[in-house]
Homo-oligomer: A and B are copies of this chain.
Amino acid sequence: MKYLFGVDIGGTNIKIGLLNTDGEILLNKSIKTNSEAGFDDCFNRIAKVIRKMNIEKNIDENDILGVGMGIPGPVLHQEIVSFFANFPWRKNLNVAKILAEKTGYPVKVDNDVNVITLGEIWQGSAKGYCNVIGMALGTGIGGGIVVDGKLVGGVKGAGGEIGHMTIVPNGKLCGCGKKGCFEAYVSATGIEREAESRLTINKNNKLWDIISKKEKQKVEAKDVFDAAKLKDSFSLDIVDYITEYIAYGLSILLHVTNPEIVVIGGGVALAGDILFDGIVKKIKKYSLLACIEDLKILPAKLGNEAGIIGAAALIING
């Protein structure tokens, strides 16, 4: 049996896993990112955890295939991080080379949503597929585009930056400064903004009943789906709005790469059938038959370990 490491760098925590080539996680550790201490400090701690795991499981150095790493930001050639989306670390660092020197193993690095998509192909909902679109509906929207088994990275690492494709010219203001981006509509943040905007003029609904009981009276995307599942017509109408925009945005992608399967993850995807049924129903009117015939649209499967398994998948399939 051969082994590999998966490292998932998040804003708050870094998850590190030791896996075998069957995708089983043998060891799993979470450490604080603590980005203020700097890049070197952080990566020294990652290397230390990797060494410790190796010793703990007493694995022959020759049986370690490498270290895969998922990072929030654009990555070039699976080596160079153009910039870290949330950290004040240096730009254009060859992170793969630096970590390879610190660990002694080959390292591949890629964008976190790209990596998660590879993980879903290796061990999740897209197992066995070669033409896949992965979409993460979280605070923002990320995409992983896989064509013939390979990630579409793009010349500046912006392949799959689907959250920032404009879908409504002069539409809602997005965090990136542009207007009408996909993620301004159907990320968790986008959903919350829409719900809050509607609540300012209508509080006679079950969503407000849920929100008003909270200390901060702040909408979370989950509240909208929860109220909709209680058949609250105000919230069902928001879900209708959300599924319409997801179907529309996703349909665009289907006409570019014509995949076999779309895997949707992230917090918003946890809404389940109420979300997926709407998307599947609505995507038809936006799509040529050839783009939706036999197409599968499924929730992601890997959950909390998606980052680690996906990062490791970089070594297997990247």
Expressed in whole angstroms, the minimum distance between the Cβ of A66 and any Cβ of chain B is 21
Of the candidates B154, B252, B286, the one whose C-beta lies within 8 Å of that of A258 is B154
Expressed in whole angstroms, the minimum distance between the Cβ of A43 and any Cβ of chain B is 24
**Chain A count of residues within 8 A CB distance of the other chain:** 47
Is A37 an interface residue when CB atoms closer than 8 A count as contact?
Answer: no
Q: How far is the CA of A131 from the CA of B159 in the complex (A)?
A: 11
Is A285 an interface residue when CB atoms closer than 8 A count as contact?
Answer: yes
Chain B residues whose CB sits within 8 angstroms of the CB of A293 once the complex forms = 156
- Count of chain copies: 2
Q: How far is the CA of A287 from the CA of B179 in the complex (A)?
A: 10
Is A251 an interface residue when CB atoms closer than 8 A count as contact?
Answer: yes
Chain B residues whose CB sits within 8 angstroms of the CB of A165 once the complex forms = 251-252, 255-256
Q: Which of A97-105, A142-150, A300-308 contacts B (4 or more CB under 8 A)?
A: A142-150
Of the candidates B161, B176, B256, B294, the one whose C-beta lies within 8 Å of that of A159 is B256
Asked if A166 and B252 sit within 8 Å, CB to CB, the answer is yes
Of the candidates B150, B253, B260, B290, the one whose C-beta lies within 8 Å of that of A148 is B150
Chain B residues whose CB sits within 8 angstroms of the CB of A143 once the complex forms = 256
Q: Residues 247-259 of chain A: 1 if any B CB is under 8 Å from the residue's CB, otherwise 0?
A: 0100111111111
Is A190 an interface residue when CB atoms closer than 8 A count as contact?
Answer: no
Expressed in whole angstroms, the minimum distance between the Cβ of A177 and any Cβ of chain B is 9
Is A222 an interface residue when CB atoms closer than 8 A count as contact?
Answer: no
Asked if B257 and A166 sit within 8 Å, CB to CB, the answer is no
Q: How far is the CA of A179 from the CA of B284 in the complex (A)?
A: 12
Question: Which residue of chain B has the shortest Cβ distance to A82 in the bound complex?
Answer: B290
Question: Which residue of chain B has the shortest Cβ distance to A148 in the bound complex?
Answer: B150
Q: How far is the CA of A74 from the CA of B254 in the complex (A)?
A: 14
Asked if B154 and A131 sit within 8 Å, CB to CB, the answer is yes
Expressed in whole angstroms, the minimum distance between the Cβ of A18 and any Cβ of chain B is 31
Expressed in whole angstroms, the minimum distance between the Cβ of A315 and any Cβ of chain B is 19
Chain B residues whose CB sits within 8 angstroms of the CB of A248 once the complex forms = 166, 169
Q: Residues 145-183 of chain A: 1 if any B CB is under 8 Å from the residue's CB, otherwise 0?
A: 101101011111111111011110100000010110000
Q: How far is the CA of A246 from the CA of B241 in the complex (A)?
A: 26
Chain B residues whose CB sits within 8 angstroms of the CB of A14 once the complex forms = none
Report 24 cross-chain contacts, Cβ distance below 8 Å, ordered by A residue. A148-B150, A152-B256, A152-B258, A153-B258, A154-B257, A154-B259, A156-B258, A156-B291, A158-B258, A158-B290, A159-B256, A160-B256, A161-B288, A165-B251, A165-B252, A165-B256, A166-B252, A167-B252, A169-B244, A169-B248, A169-B286, A176-B288, A178-B286, A253-B256
